């Protein structure tokens, strides 16, 4: 039965092409008209009709690939814009972080200077224990500075 169906389909297809029904897509019809060519309705096509049809099919193909490349370009630009936006955001965050670190740095350096001047003013008698304590404190400050 399947074989018979195929035969029937082949027969119908042969009939259609012999009866001269040419099936054109809407886009093909539109392009033929806009290019000033008549729409062929019968098969076989004349040489000129074949030439025209080939020309407008190539034109349609070019149009589609131009659309596609515009779409890809737009997509690419949009992705790029998103990345720029994300980098701007990150940059702002980093600037804030740097500012905060610089403030901490200044504050810690100030504290260190105070401690150093305290140490330098210490009486010599007390220096043995107090100096080492103060030095340990200032070492802590320097270490926390370098950790920052």
Q: Which residue's CB is nearer to ligand NAG, number 69 or number 105?
A: 105
Q: How far is the CB of 110 from ligand NAG (least distance, A)?
A: 11
- DSSP string for 22-86: PP--HHHHHHHHHTT-----SSSPPHHHHHHHHHHHHHHHHHHHHHHHHHHHHHHHHHHHHHHHH
Closest residue to ligand NAG: CB criterion: 105
Q: Which residue's CB is nearer to ligand NAG, number 8 or number 98?
A: 98
Q: Are 57 and 28 in contact (CB under 8 A)?
A: yes
Q: How far is the CB of 89 from ligand NAG (least distance, A)?
A: 22
Q: Which residue's CB is nearer to ligand NAG, number 9 or number 101?
A: 101
**How far apart are alpha carbons 133 and 121 in whole angstroms?**
14
Q: How far is the CB of 115 from ligand NAG (least distance, A)?
A: 16
Binding-site ranges for ligand NAG (CB under 6 A)? 101-102, 105
């Amino acid at each position: 039965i399947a074989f018979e169906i195929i035969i029937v389909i082949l027969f119908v297809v042969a009939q259609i092409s012999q009866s001269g029904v040419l099936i054109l897509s809407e886009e093909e019809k539109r392009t033929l008209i806009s290019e000033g060519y008549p729409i062929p309705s019968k098969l076989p096509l004349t040489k000129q009709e074949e030439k025209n049809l080939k020309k407008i099919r190539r034109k349609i193909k070019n149009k589609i690939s131009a659309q596609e490349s515009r779409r890809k370009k737009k997509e690419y630009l949009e992705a790029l814009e998103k990345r720029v936006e994300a980098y701007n955001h990150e940059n702002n965050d980093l600037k804030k972080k740097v500012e905060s670190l610089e403030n901490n740095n200044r504050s810690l350096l100030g504290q260190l200077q105070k401690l150093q001047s305290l140490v330098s003013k210490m009486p010599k008698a007390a220096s043995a224990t107090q100096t080492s304590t103060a030095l340990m404190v200032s070492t802590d400050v320097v270490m926390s500075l370098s950790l920052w």
